[in-house]
Structure 1
Amino acid sequence: MKNIVFLTSIAVASFVPFSSAQVIKPAPQVTTQAQAEFFAAINEHCGNSYAGEVTVDTPASDGFEGPLIMHVRKCGDAKIEIPFHVGSDHSRTWILTQTGSGISLKHDHRKPDGNYDPLTMYGGHTIDKGYPTAQSFPADAYSKELFIELGVPQSNTNIWQMYIHDDTFTYRLIREGREFRVDFDLTETVDTPPTPWGYAD
């Protein structure tokens, strides 16, 4: 008797008309609440530039003596581009991307003529939800291969971190025996720096 009822239900259901108006949507962009809030906090500064200073550099490295400026140049819910200017060196752009599995951080390095530097598009990907004010990016597989190819395998254990608070944005790199940190003052904007190398307005 149960079988008869089941089959009858199927038979009845097969005659239910389907609507001809189908909903067409792109695949949804997904993220965690903490990572959405992290993106939103940076997007609040869209178009602004801020001065920074190296607060930790162990062991000391060269190349960061000039004025340091971050520029929140391109914004959005899925991708943010932040050029990092060091004096007259406009080679660096941080690229944050919502991937659906977290957030990717890439470092786009260019030469003065706009061509790619051999060490470019390295970075990492979050492995957990993080916090609305802090995200960590352990080196990804592409970066590890690149570091080995270019003879810097010690960078395979790199972890990049970004923090954003009401008055400070922080970029940080850590690995065993190495820490580098730049803090930017979000309480006061500065003049917009030149367009980063390899980009156009």
Structure 2
Amino acid sequence: GEKIIPNLNGYHRIIQNQVPIYIKSEQPDWFIPTPQADRFLCLYQQSDTLSQAIHTYQDLYQDENIDYKVGQLLSHLSIKKAENYQGRVHYRSPDSLKECWFHLTNRCNMDCGYCMFENYRIKDKELTKEQIFNVIKEGYQLGVRIFYFTGGEPLVHPYFREVIEKILSLPHTHAVILSNGKKVSRFSSWLSTISKKRVHFQVCKL
């Protein structure tokens, strides 16, 4: 069963596959004690004071070094009470963006069974060049330097090349294309002229 240890601010003892685990649910903190440490902590749980638990343990197990061992054990435990969680924004206030993802088009030249996107047959659903350029501009101003492109198949978008060139015209940017690779040869001459350090392909196919 689950019990809370007094004076240790929230550690709970649970048994998982016959292994005792002590978890502090208010913080990312847990540990698995040695059998000896677990025996002591169980005694401590039933005692009024730490001294009483130590004396009881000495009487039961004739361990003359228990004071030192308990000191070592408690020094590794977090006894500081967790502060009230004030929300992610309090700890990590986003002052800029790092990346931007585009779903360029619903169209695709393959029909992969594992693909999560099922609406590729809706032919008229894709971003216009103006929409893409506007988001690139806005994203760059907000700090984006890595732009990702998915679909559908990004390479079938009619303005794919212009979109990548737009990104490369901005300093310190990178483009990452998630593609099945079947249309890459169509752009081979152009791809040979652009920076391989700034344009990256991730090829996904059966």
Q: Which TM-score band applies after superposition, normalised by the shorter structure?
A: under 0.3
The structure with the largest strand share of the pair is: 1
State which structure, 1 or 2, has the greater radius of gyration over its C-alpha atoms: 2
